[in-house]
Amino acid sequence: MRYQPSLTPLVLAVGLSLAACSDLLVENPKGFTTTDTFFKTGADLNSGTLAIYSALRGFEGQSNWTTPELASDQTRADNREPNAGTYGPDRLTWSASSGRAIVPFGTHYAVITEANLVLAKGPGIQTSDTLTKAYNLAEAKLLRGYAYLRLTKMYDGVPLLLTPEDQANPSPTRATVEAVHQAVIKDLTEAKAGLPVAWSGDDGYGNPTQGRVTKGAAEMALADLYLWRSSFMGKNEWQLASDWADSVIASGLWSLNDDYIKTFLPSNKGNPEEILVITNSGVVDRTSNIFQLFYYPRDWGLDAGQGGGWGLIHPTDWFLNSYLPGDYRGSRGFEGYKTDSAYVAGGCGLTICADTLGDGPMPYKYRKSDNGATWWLGDVDVPLYRYAEALLIYAEAQNELGNTGVAVQYLNMIRARARKGTGAQARTQPHDYGTAGEAMDKLSVRDAIFMERAWEFAFEAKRWFDLVRRDSEEPGYWKNSLIAHDPSFDQTPPNPKPLPDEYKKRWPIPQAQIDANPALCQNPGYGGTACPPGVTAP
């Protein structure tokens, strides 16, 4: 072909446009930032810290919350609930590949991931607000320590990952429980040193601070950790549990409300009994809980927006009858949304009434401001640690150390508050322990403390862990309690239910996680690879 001069401008034009075009292939997302462009300022660090609280909200979801609730002997599912997946935890129906007991594994690592990101990127940030920066790093340590503590209570040893680089490893192995606890102790102790005693009204970046963690939360978590280690793992660390509980008590920052129910009312957010909570705004579903579905009666319209819920979590008959007669915490009213009792046994929701609820009284301590008009907008702050638990941990530790008198004294502080009823009453029950001829030996007082914990922390997802840890101190306790108290394991003829399997005290590592990472070993009873010593409970 003869060269045509008129081709020159054409070739040039094409060549230039080719050079400019490859910029088109570089992605510049507009709707989101990336980890490379973020974490540059103090405000970024604060936002990243708030992200840990956002992940914490997962603990109030259906699988995380209703599993320990229903699995305990304190609660049972509604006998009209049709979905096996929903009432499954009540019958301990879970395995490595199905059921809800495997879900918390992922929920807790979401908290740990955000905390690791803050602790990795935080120290390098230059900001003038060094106070909030120090608080943010301490908050991350507390929430990370708390998440690992909860993981060990559910699953025993888990992969211990403390940096984003650790997390990028596709095949981490499960660390021993001792290794995880030592990391938790380090995190919580450093958090306690770095956290504020209380937050001012503003976190330095214009955000309200109700719900942000304080020194008290670190102290509670440490008390809880040593209580678990002493009871479940048989280590004699009762003095440490007692000391940490005492530092909460002696700080003078916290106190018991006169009215037990008032602790949980949305109008009372941030009251001096709440040490660690999951905050809920009730404004939009992304910052609200769905406790209406779990606790509000089915008889008031299921989840059709008429004021009811699934009515999923009922007290067992044993538990309902265990309250001392007249105990405010076991009181039941018949006026629907107008009652000031701890349980509702009949009456009207918003539009539907039932003289008596079809399957018995329902717990009524989580009261939404809108009285059930919108089930997806729950504004009750979900309690994780309350001051009452500091008193009872102190009492239990003192009892185990042999100081029965001190133990009973602190136990009775809880009872005294319950006697105040709606605040200014003077009920006779629950009477002070020891004034009606009760035995004062260690075992009887331990029994009384555990029962007090059941009454005090009813429907706060704590009873399951009490059953499991006391089982180490008194073998058979877990199984016998479930058989005696939970209708799912009722042995009366002619149709005795299957017995609970001992291995179910530990929850299974999700099979999907083992499929993605075969280096993970499995807890006994669920199949899979057995773990090296120290990873699972002996």
Strand partners, 276: 385
Interactions with another protein, residue window 463-482 (CB under 8 A): none
- Comparing CB distances to another protein, the nearer of 286 and 325 is 286
* CB-nearer residue toward another protein: 212 or 314: 212
Site for another protein in 291-320 (CB under 8 A): 302-305
Number of residues that bind another protein (CB under 8 A): 100
Please name the residues in contact with 181: beta carbons below 8 A apart, sequence gap of 6 or more. Answer: 149, 152, 225, 229
Min dist. Cβ of residue 288 to another protein (A):
8
Q: Which stretch binds another protein (CB under 8 A): 67-75, 165-173, 181-189, 394-402?
A: 165-173
What mask of x and - would describe binding to another protein in positions 491 to 530, judged by CB under 8 A? -------x-----------xxxx-xxxxxx------x-x-
Q: How far apart are CA 118 and CA 382, in angstroms?
A: 25
**CA separation for the pair 42, 48 (Å, rounded):** 10
Strands 362-363 and 353-354: unpaired
Name the residue nearer to another protein (CB basis): 55 or 221.
55
Instruction: State the minimum distance, in angstroms, from the CB of residue 452 to another protein.
Output: 31
Residue closer to another protein, measured from CB, 47 or 239:
47
Measured from the CB atom, the residue of 212 and 332 that comes closer to another protein is: 212
Judged by CB under 8 A, the residue of 64, 66, 73, 105 near another protein is 105
Structure tokens at 421: 């009823």
Q: In the range 199-258, which residues lie near another protein by CB under 8 A?
A: 207-212
Q: How far apart are CA 214 and CA 274, in angstroms?
A: 11
Residue 44 is a binding residue for another protein (CB under 8 A): yes
Does the footprint of another protein cover residue 16 (CB under 8 A)? no
Q: Taking CB under 8 A as the rule, does residue 110 contact another protein?
A: yes
d(CA 429, CA 449): 16
123 binds another protein (CB under 8 A): no
Site string for another protein, 369-408 (x = CB under 8 A): ----xx----x-----------------------------
Tokens linked to 25: 């292939």
Name the minimum Å distance from CB 224 to another protein.
23
When the beta carbons of 53 and 334 are compared against another protein, the nearer one is 53
User: Considering only 157-165, 237-245, 319-327, 430-438, which stretch makes contact with another protein by CB under 8 A?
Assistant: 157-165
Q: What is the Cα–Cα distance from 57 to 303, expressed in whole angstroms?
A: 22
Minimum CB distance to another protein smaller for 159 or for 297: 159
Identity (one letter) of the amino acid at 150? R
> What's the start-to-end Cα distance of the chain, in Å?
86
In this chain, which of 1, 19, 197, 424 binds another protein, going by CB under 8 A? 1
CA 97 to CA 515: how far, in whole Å?
Answer: 10
What part of residues 70-99 is at the interface with another protein (CB under 8 A)? 80, 82-85, 88, 95-99
Output phi, psi for 360, to 5 deg. 95, 170
DSSP secondary-structure letter at 338? G
Strands 332-333 and 343-344: parallel
Determine how β-strand 75-77 pairs with β-strand 347-348: unpaired
Contacting another protein within 335-354 (CB under 8 A): none
One residue of 12, 193, 198, 283 binding another protein per CB under 8 A: 283
3-state secondary structure 124-184: CCCCCCHHHHHHHHHHHHHHHHHHHHHHHHHHCCCCCCCCHHHHHCCCCCCCCHHHHHHHH
User: At residue 165, what is the residue type?
Assistant: E
Give whichever of 480 and 517 is closer to another protein, judged by the CB atom: 517
